[in-house]
Structure 1
Amino acid sequence: MFAKKRINHSVQKRRIMNFVTALKIFIFCLFCLNLMLSVAQARTLKMVHIESEPFYFTNESGKSQGILIDLVDKVMKKAGYQWNTISYPAKRMVQSIVRGDADMWLGLPTLPGFKGTTVIGRHEIAKATQCAYTKGENPPIINKEDLSGKTLITLIGYSYGGWIHYIKNPANHVKYHEVFSNDLAFKMLRAKRADYLLSYKRVSEIILKKMDFPELRFNEISAMGLKFVVSKKNA
């Protein structure tokens, strides 16, 4: 009897929490759209993204897909706005938002170039978990200072929550190789071209499903919030 009541209470509590979370996301999405209301009435909104499956990617037909693409699509349809998407490399994606060539991006707000040039939402839509991958018995990376004296593989355009500034500072003695894709990055790590690879967990999981890498080890470093970022020039 009491056990049943506890179970029902737990289920009810979980449903309430899920509802509150969904409500926050919906309210936040509307907040971002209101910032662009005048733009939306005049033309089709343009959202940019990078290739980072399963968050966003270009399918075989050349169309944008992914978890975050689906979320934005639902909100846009609900609000009655026309919109389209285009995939850019990370650096070009940031530049297009800053210049006002594109209206918005949904992802990490910490990318270089966004500070002072964009309107960043307050609420997190999702999280991106950053991990350090290695082959063999290398110790886990806990803080960015642990990278000193190590050889590292990074993805071009990624800020890694600000770690990229430490990595690229010669005073910190981090030797790094920048590559364009996670697939190439993991192949290089498997070939022992570096001690560590920094990447995001959900993206890496998809790559590793297709790759034989029995000696791979990893640890989570941080979880960063994904938010809407809106161009100030179009807000």
Structure 2
Amino acid sequence: MRSIFSVYPSAFPLPGLFQSARVLALLIACLVSAQAVAQAGGAEKTLRVAYLEFPPLSYQAADGTPAGRFIELTRKVVAEAGYQPDFIYLPVSRVYLYLINGTIDVWPGVTEVPRLEGEVLESWVSPFQVQLSAWYREGTEPLEHFDQLQGKRVIVIGGYTYGGLLGWLERKPGIRLTEAPNHRSAVDMLKRNRGDYLLDYQAPVQEILNGGANNIVHESKVRTRNTAWLFSLANPRAAILRNEFDDAYLRLVEKGEVPPVRELTGGYVIPGFPEHLR
């Protein structure tokens, strides 16, 4: 018995039709695959970079964009390493949390944060130091030894651990802590005599004082700390990213586009500073 295909072969050109369909399906699959690869590559080349309010090193400008000395340096290094930055503005406590759970990839911040121990890799390159100071009003004694904080009211910034120092201060019964929500509020509290000393970093406080041309607030040097890029170990490429950042920075040094590599030292620590936090 002859089949319908043998009787009317021209009406059912199945081999050619199937072949064309297969080719079309393959082409669609290739296009979808190429698009997926491109999207994956684009995602891989974008780094989620946290930054916080720490003027003039990092801050959110009036138009909502990231700005500051450390931010501009980060832009250069990220670009030289072959990535695109996606800056995310966060409070410091959220920066720590997001580094731990991998929501962000890197933070231009300070080294040796106790809460981040075992959670991040720090770049070998340290662009500059930051200084922690004890700020006080005219008429108050300069802080020359950390024991002078006994019996005093100390203003601290909410969310800051000060490299583990906050926990030590909280356990000292003779020191009364008052928390300020941000740097400007902390300076205002000090001016209004709501504390004897303010523990805060030099750069943001000087930015505030320079803006107001205020000479009634003075500082005593407490400690210097190193800056670095901190990479989340929740990202499986953390070690690769660190190497790429360090290499990129060295290339930029050779081009004269960034400061020379610093020789790291122990830095300054005020007498009486807790030994285990040095």
The bucket for the TM-score relative to the shorter chain is 0.7 to 0.9
For the 8 Å contact 1:134–1:217, the answer to whether it is kept is yes
SS at 2:163 equivalent: helix
- The aligned counterpart of 2:65 is 63
Residue 81 of structure 1, aligned match among 76, 80, 83: 83
- The aligned counterpart of 1:50 is 52
Structure 1 range deviating more: 225-234 or 141-150: 141-150
- The aligned counterpart of 1:125 is 127
In 1, the alpha carbon distance for the partners of 2:194 and 2:169 equals 17
In 2, the alpha carbon distance for the partners of 1:200 and 1:39 equals 39
In 1, the alpha carbon distance for the partners of 2:112 and 2:211 equals 30
- The verdict on how the C-alpha distance between 1:73 and 1:214 changes in structure 2, with shifts beyond 3 A counting, is closer
Residue 141 of structure 2, aligned match among 134, 139, 142: 139
For the 8 Å contact 1:144–1:163, the answer to whether it is kept is no
In 1, the alpha carbon distance for the partners of 2:93 and 2:64 equals 21
- The aligned counterpart of 2:200 is 199
- The aligned counterpart of 1:100 is 102
Query: How much does 1:78 deviate?
Result: 1.6
Spell out, residue by residue over 1:113-146, the C-alpha distance to the aligned partner (whole angstroms, 9 max, x if none).
2101111223322110111111133222244433
- The verdict on how the C-alpha distance between 1:218 and 1:141 changes in structure 2, with shifts beyond 3 A counting, is same
In 1, the alpha carbon distance for the partners of 2:192 and 2:122 equals 39
- The aligned counterpart of 1:230 is 231
**Following superposition, which runs of at least 4 residues in structure 1 exceed 6 angstroms of deviation?**
38-41
In 1, the alpha carbon distance for the partners of 2:174 and 2:126 equals 34
- The verdict on how the C-alpha distance between 1:165 and 1:233 changes in structure 2, with shifts beyond 3 A counting, is same
Spell out, residue by residue over 1:187-209, the C-alpha distance to the aligned partner (whole angstroms, 9 max, x if none).
11111011000111111111012
Greater RCO between the two (CA within 8 Å, min separation 6)? 1
Query: How much does 1:215 deviate?
Result: 2.6
SS at 2:155 equivalent: strand
Spell out, residue by residue over 1:77-102, the C-alpha distance to the aligned partner (whole angstroms, 9 max, x if none).
22221221111011011100110000
TM-score after normalising by structure 1: 0.77
Spell out, residue by residue over 1:164-202, the C-alpha distance to the aligned partner (whole angstroms, 9 max, x if none).
122111x44210111111111111111101100011111
Amino acid at match of 1:211: G
Query: How much does 1:57 deviate?
Result: 0.7
In 1, the alpha carbon distance for the partners of 2:180 and 2:114 equals 18
SS at 2:132 equivalent: strand
In 2, the alpha carbon distance for the partners of 1:104 and 1:66 equals 17
Quote the RMSD (CA, aligned, Å): 2.0
Query: How much does 1:212 deviate?
Result: 5.6
Q: How many residue pairs get matched?
A: 197
Amino acid at match of 2:44: A
SS at 1:160 equivalent: coil
Consecutive unaligned residues in structure 2, runs of 5 or more = 1-39, 239-278
- The aligned counterpart of 2:187 is 186
Is the radius of gyration larger for structure 1 or structure 2?
2
In 2, the alpha carbon distance for the partners of 1:42 and 1:212 equals 46
- The aligned counterpart of 1:217 is 218
SS at 1:113 equivalent: helix
TM-score after normalising by structure 2: 0.66
Structure 1 range deviating more: 119-128 or 50-59: 119-128
Spell out, residue by residue over 1:15-53, the C-alpha distance to the aligned partner (whole angstroms, 9 max, x if none).
xxxxxxxxxxxxxxxxxxxxxxx9987251101011111
